[in-house]
Amino acid sequence: MPLFICPVRPLTRSGRVLLCVAVSLFAALLLVAWSPAHADDSEARKAESPYFAVNSSEPGTDRLPLKATRVDVRIAGVIADVTVTQTYRNEGQRAIEARYVFPGSTQSAVYAMNVRLGGRLLTARIKEKQQARIEYETAKKEGKTSALLEQHRPNVFEMNVANILPGEDVAVELHYTELLTPTDAQYGFVFPTVVGPRYNSPQGAAVSEKWVATPYLRSGETSNTSFDIKLTLDTPVALREIGSSSHEIEVTGDGTAHASVALKAVSTAANNRDFILHYRLAGDRIETGLMLFRGESENFFLALVEPPKAVPVRQINPRDYIFVVDISGSMHGYPLETSKVLLANLISGLRPSDTFNVMLFSGSNRMLSPTSVPATRANIERALQTIREMGGSGSTEIVPALKSIAALPKSPDVSRSVIVVTDGYVSVEAEVFQLVRKNLNQQNVFAFGIGSSVNRHLIEGIARAGQGEAFVVTKPDEAAAQADRLRKMIEAPVLTNVTARFQGLDVYDVEPAQLPDVLGGRPVLVFGKWRGDVAGNARLVVEGHSAEGLFRTEVSAAGRDDRTSSALRHLWARQRIAALSDQEALEGGSAQKAAITDLGLKYSLLTQYTSFIAVDHVVRNPNPALAPSVNQPSPLPQGVSELAVGAEVPSTPEPGAWFALLVVLGIVGATVVSNRRRNPR
C-alpha cells in the first residue's frame, strides 16, 4: 500500500491541516476498499456463476423449449412413487438441443426414464456416466433425437435432449421412489421445483463444474413453463390435517384413509419454490412396522420403529453454542430477515449457564467475540442488535468459515453445538462434509436451511456428518417452532446406544451399519436384505438407552413376506449409495466410484457415476451441426434477491478496515487538537 506524507510547505498552517485531513481520509477509504471482504468478493466474480437469461436475436431459435412439468405422486403407507413428465416443444424454425438443470428430492431413488416421441416410446438404459455421455454426443452428431439424464448432486440433475425438430413435442418421463420419514408424528412430502443459484468458489473443488453457470430469469419475471402436481394418498389409518405451507391446494378425502391433493388454480407462479405437503395419521403416533419384500434373486426389508417420547431432564450440563450465519448476497432480503427471526428465537432461549458466540460469513467472516461469552441478558441483547443490523452481500465462502469454527478452543468438559444457518447456495458440498466429519466430530452440528428452495443436499449432509439434525425454515412464522424443536433435541436425546437385531430371520447388508442416536421425533430406520424362510417367531428387536433407563421394543416379522413392495429394492440401494458417498466425501477423491457405479448399474439407479440414456435410432435431423444448444433458464426462487446472480453490490467492509479508518480518523483528530494547542488563535 502506498505511503502518504502530509506536505508542510508552502501552505499555511490551516491549509496544511486540511490537506492532511483530506489525504488521510483518502488513505482510510483505500483501506476500506482494499479490505479482505472486498478482495474476496472480487475474486468470487471470476468463478463460474449463474447469469441472467438474455433474449437472443438469433432468428428461428426457440430459447424456452421446456413448456410444461407435470408431477404425479402416489403415496402408499410411507413410500412415495413419483412420475415427473417434462414436455419440450420446439416452436422455432431450427432444430435445437435443450439443456435443463433441475432439482430433485435428496431422498429420491431415480430408477427409470422413458421418452415419448410422436407415437413411439423410447426406454432409457442405465450406463456408466462417461459411456452414456459418449453415446449421447455420437447420436447428437448423427442427427438422432436422444435424451441424457445426469446427476450433478443427489438433488441436482441435468436433462439434455438433442435434435428436437421444429414443431415437435418430446415428453421425458422420470420415475423415482422415496421413503417419507415422519417427524413428531407429522409426515411430509417435498417436491423441489427450482435449483437455487450456486456460488462456485474460485478455490473450490467444483470450480470446473459447468452446470453451475445456468441462466436465471430476472426477479419478478415468471417462467413460461407450466407446473402442475397431483397426489393420491393411501394409508393404513385415517389421514388428517392435510395441508401445504408453500402452495394453495384442494384436498379430497381428508379424514379418510384415501385422499387426493391438487393445486388450486391461482394466478401466481407455482414453480419458483419447493412444493411442501404435510399430514398426520389418526392417533398422533408414528406407524411402526416391518416390510419384507421377496424378490427373484434378493429379498429386502425395511423397519420403521417409533422411539420413546422425550422426557424432561432435571439437570442439564452447561453448553456452548456457536451460531454460523450466512450473510451473502443470496441471503439478502427475505431469507436474511427469516434468519434474524430464527436467531432471535434461538439466542433468546439460552440459559444463564450457557455460553455462545456468533460468526457472520460471506466473502470473509467475523466473530461477535474472540471467545464465547456467557448468555447474560446484556450479551444476548448485544448479539441480537448485531444480527438485526446485518445485511446480505458478497460471496458464500462457507469452507473458510467452518475452518475458523473448527479452530476455536473448547474445554473438554463443555458440550458444544454448532448451528449453521444458510440457504446452501454453494457447490462445495463434499468439501464441507469432509471438514465437518474430520474437524467438528467432538460437537453436534445442526443445519438450518433458510428460504423457499434451499439446497437440502448441503443442509442434510452437514447434519448427517455432524451427528446432528437438519431443519428447513421457509418463512419467519416457522422460526419459533423450529427453534423450540432444536432446544428439545439438544437438551435431551431420546435414545442413545441404539442397536437393532433380528431373531428368526437371516439378515445381511444392513443399512446403516451403526444406528445413530435418536434426537427426538424421528423413528429408527433400518434397511437390509434377508434370505431363507421367515420363521413363525421371527422378530426385530430394537434396544437403547433413554432418559428413563433401558428401552426395548419388538416388531413381529410373521406374515409380512410379500412380493408387492418392490420399491424396497431401490430404497435399500439408495441407502447404500448414500453411505458410500458420505464415505467418499470423508476420504476425498473418488475412492468409492467403482462400488457406487456397480450399485447404480445393478439396481438401475441414477448416481453421480451412472446416467440414463435414450436414443432414437432413426436419423431425423440432416444438419445436426447447425442445431444450437439452448440452456433453459430457471426462475429465481421465491424471496431470493438478484444479488444471488452476480449483481454488483458494494461489499460490506470488514472490522479490520473499519478499525483502520477509526485509527486514521483518531490520528487526524489528535493532530488537529495538537496544532490548535501549540498555535492558539
Q: Which residue has the cell 472480487?
A: 42
In the predicted structure, residue 355 carries a pLDDT above the cut 90: yes
Q: Quick one: average pLDDT of 626-637?
A: 93
Taking only the tens place, the pLDDT of each residue in 76-112 is 999 999 999 999 999 999 999 999 999 999 999 999 9
Taking only the tens place, the pLDDT of each residue in 296-338 is 999 999 999 888 887 666 555 678 999 999 999 889 888 899 9
Can you give the pLDDT at residue 94?
Answer: 94
Q: Which residue has the cell 417452532?
A: 481
Q: Say how far apart CA 544 and CA 551 lie, in whole Å.
A: 5
Taking only the tens place, the pLDDT of each residue in 477-519 is 999 999 998 888 887 778 888 999 999 999 999 999 888 888 8
Taking only the tens place, the pLDDT of each residue in 107-128 is 999 999 999 998 899 999 999 9
Give residue 333's region: left, alpha or beta (phi > 0; psi -120 to 50).
left
pTM, two decimal places = 0.85
**Domains of the chain by residue range:** 68-198+207-283+606-631, 289-311+494-600, 319-491
The confidence band for 148, taking pLDDT boundaries of 50, 70 and 90, is: very high
Cell of 597: 457405479
Handedness of CA 395, 399, 404, 410 (dihedral sign): positive
Q: Say how far apart CA 167 and CA 622 lie, in whole Å.
A: 16
Taking only the tens place, the pLDDT of each residue in 167-181 is 999 999 999 999 999
The confidence band for 13, taking pLDDT boundaries of 50, 70 and 90, is: low
Among residues of the chain, what percentage have pLDDT more than 70? 85
Q: Please check whether the two domains, 68-198+207-283+606-631 and 289-311+494-600, share a CATH topology.
A: yes
Better pLDDT: 655 or 490 = 490
Taking only the tens place, the pLDDT of each residue in 527-582 is 999 999 998 889 999 999 887 889 999 999 988 888 888 999 999 999 999 999 99
In the predicted structure, residue 673 carries a pLDDT above the cut 50: no
SS3 per residue for 198-214: CECCCCCCCCCCHHHCC
- Architecture category of domain 289-311+494-600 in CATH: Sandwich (2.60)
Q: How many residues does the chain have?
A: 681
* CATH for the stretch 68-198+207-283+606-631: 2.60.40
Taking only the tens place, the pLDDT of each residue in 391-446 is 878 788 999 999 999 988 887 778 889 999 999 999 889 899 999 988 887 788 99
Q: What's 319-491's CATH class?
A: alpha beta
